[in-house]
Amino acid sequence: MAHQFHHLVLLILLALAGAGAVTPRQLFLVSQAPVALTNHHGQLLTGNYSVNLLWYGSFTLAQRAVVADFLLSLSAPVASASAPSVAAWWATTARYHPGAARLTLGRQVLDPSLSLGRRLSETSLASLAARLSPHRGSVAVVITAPDVLVDGFCLSHCGLHASATSAAAAAPAASHGVGAAPATRRRGRFAYVWVGNSAEQCPGECAWPFHQPTYGPQAPPLVAPNADVGIDGVVINLATLLAGAVTNPYGGGFFQGPVDAPLEAVTACTGVFGAGAYPGYPGQLPVDAATGASYNAVGVAGRRFLLPAMWDPKTSQCSTLV
C-alpha cells in the first residue's frame, strides 16, 4: 500500500563520505519535503549476488539463524495469508532501472575472538569485509556484537554501506587437475555493509520500534517478532542498507540530496512500516495472537520479520507491505 506522509527526518551528526548510513532515531520533527529519488546514472548492482556474512564478536546460533533466514527469504517467495513475503518487499528494488540484484545467502565467517579489537573504525570495517574474499558477484556484510564499539555507532549511525577495493584471486577458466595454470591476482571494487547490534548500547535509537525511543514521541515499543530486540533491529537496518547498496552502491545510483548524506531507497522512508504511520508511530501492522509480536513480512519456514517502507520509483511514493 503506497501513501504519502509526514515522517521523522534524521539529524545527521556526522557525514560519511561516499557511504550510505542508517542514522539513529534521535530526531526532530519537521514536515518532510516530497521524496523524489533521482537516478544519477551510475552503476547499480544487477544480476545474481551472494551475501557473505562476517559475525564479529559473540552471537548465538539462534541470532545467526534469524539473519540467515532473512537473507534466504529475499529470493524465496512464501505464500502467507497473514502478510506478504520478504521477497515481495525486495521485489520493489527491481523497479529501479535497470533492476537491482537478486540476493542469496553466501558464506558465513565467525570472529568471536575480536581479532581487530573491541574498538573499530570505518577502515577496520572495510578490512573485515575484505576477509570475505569479495568480488563483483558478492556483497560483504559485517555484523558487530552488542559489546563492540564502532566509531560513530549510536551517535551518528546504526550501520552503513560503502565500497572498497580488494585484490581477488581469479583462476583461469577450465583449469582442472595437475598442471593447471596458477591463479592470477586482480583488484576489484566491491560493496559492503556494516550493521551493529544495538541491544546494549542504544536500542532506543537503533532498534526502534522494538524499544522505547530515546528521543521524540513516546509510545509503547512493539514486541519483536523473533523475541530479540537487538537482532530484530539488525534485520531492519540490514534490510535498509542492502536496498541502498544495490540501488546506490558507489554513490552514483538512486538518491536524493547531497552525495555524502543521501536519502536512498529506504532511508527516504524512515520510520514507516505500515499504513497510517506518523512520527513515533510505525503504522498499522499484523500482530501474532500468541506472542503479541508485530510483523509485516513472512520468510522461509514461516519466520516473521518487520521490514521498513521502501520508495517505489514507479509510483514515486513510499510503499509498505501492509
pLDDT tens, position by position, 92-141: 999 999 988 999 999 999 999 999 999 999 999 999 999 998 888 999 99
User: Would you say 112 and 57 are in contact if contact means Cβ atoms under 8 Å apart?
Assistant: yes
The candidate with the shortest Cα–Cα distance to 283, out of 322, 318, 234, is 322
- Regarding pTM above 0.85, the answer is yes
Name residue 110's beta-bridge partners: 55
Taking only the tens place, the pLDDT of each residue in 200-254 is 999 999 999 999 888 777 889 999 999 999 999 999 999 999 999 999 999 999 9
C-alpha span between 274 and 295 (Å, rounded): 9
Q: Report whether 289 contacts 223 (CB < 8 A).
A: no
So where are the chain's domains? Answer: 43-167+184-267
Report pLDDT for 9. Answer: 29
| Amino acid identity at 86 | V
Listing DSSP states for 222-266 in one string gives PBPTTS-HHHHHHHHHHHHHHHHHHHSTTSSSEEBS-TTS-B-TT
- Cell, residue 246: 544495490
Residue 318: pLDDT over 50:
yes
Tens of pLDDT, residues 233-243: 999 999 999 99
Residue 177 above 70 pLDDT?
A: no
Question: Tell me, what's the pLDDT at 32?
Answer: 54
Which residue bears the cell 519466520? 303
